[in-house]
Structure 1
Amino acid sequence: MRSEVTVSFGPEAPVRIDLDEVQPMPHDVARWWLDEQFTRMGCEPLRPTGKVLLADKVLCVAQAAGPKQFGDARWASEFARASSAALAKPVVRIDVPGLTVSY
């Protein structure tokens, strides 16, 4: 089964991170990694209630990181592993301008 994370930042080509040959990240470690990045990058909740869903956290971290951070292959791989594990989906598509995460 194919496993990848794709992040789109606009009209330019999306960033695709292949996870087929990569060791999966444990779910609890993935949540911790995303929490750490969310806090470190100063992300804000998307919802007015302040509730942060895992998909929102993935989207906010991708948005805060921007294309430049995704140029760091090691960080991009960790992001992809964490996103896939936290959301428990082998294929994740993140559309930053559209504010959507799909599986």
Structure 2
Amino acid sequence: MRSQVIVSWGDARRYTFDLEEVQPMPHDMARTWLDQQFTDLGCEPLRLTGKVLLADKVVAIAQAVGESRFAEEAYRPWAQVFAKAVSAMLAKPVVRIDVPSLTVSY
């Protein structure tokens, strides 16, 4: 089954993670990892209600670490774990994260 996470900062700056050949991350481990990243990075809820939706959490983490975390080879292992966690949590074959517009689409 196709599994792909795309993180973008506009059309020209997209980072694609193909996860077909990668061991999937268990759902509970993915939730724990994303929760920990959200907390460690000091992310804030995107909604005025203070409620943190999963898609909002994913965008907030990508926004907090910045494009370099996805672009630079030194950070590739972190970016790969991020992609695996996103794929496991959202359970969609293709996930697109558009950081400037703060959106996640499937």
**TM norm structure 2:** 0.92
- Alpha-carbon offset, residue 48 of structure 1: 0.7
Structure-2 residue corresponding to 1:62? 62
Partner-residue secondary structure (3-state), 2:38: helix
- Ranges in structure 1 where 5+ consecutive residues have no aligned partner: none
1:9–1:66: 8 Å Cα contact kept in structure 2?
A: no
Q: Residue 74 in 1 paired to residue 77 in 2?
A: yes
- Ranges in structure 2 where 5+ consecutive residues have no aligned partner: none
Q: Summarize deviations over 1:9-65 as a string: whole Å, max 9, x none.
A: 125320101101100001111010000100111100001111001111011001111
- Alpha-carbon offset, residue 76 of structure 1: 0.6
| Percent identity between the two aligned chains | 67
Amino acid at match of 1:44: E
Q: Residue 88 in 1 paired to residue 91 in 2?
A: yes
Amino acid at match of 1:83: V
Amino acid at match of 1:10: G
**TM norm structure 1:** 0.95
Aligned residues: 103
RMSD of the alignment, in Å? 1.0
Partner-residue secondary structure (3-state), 1:61: helix
Q: Residue 98 in 1 paired to residue 101 in 2?
A: yes
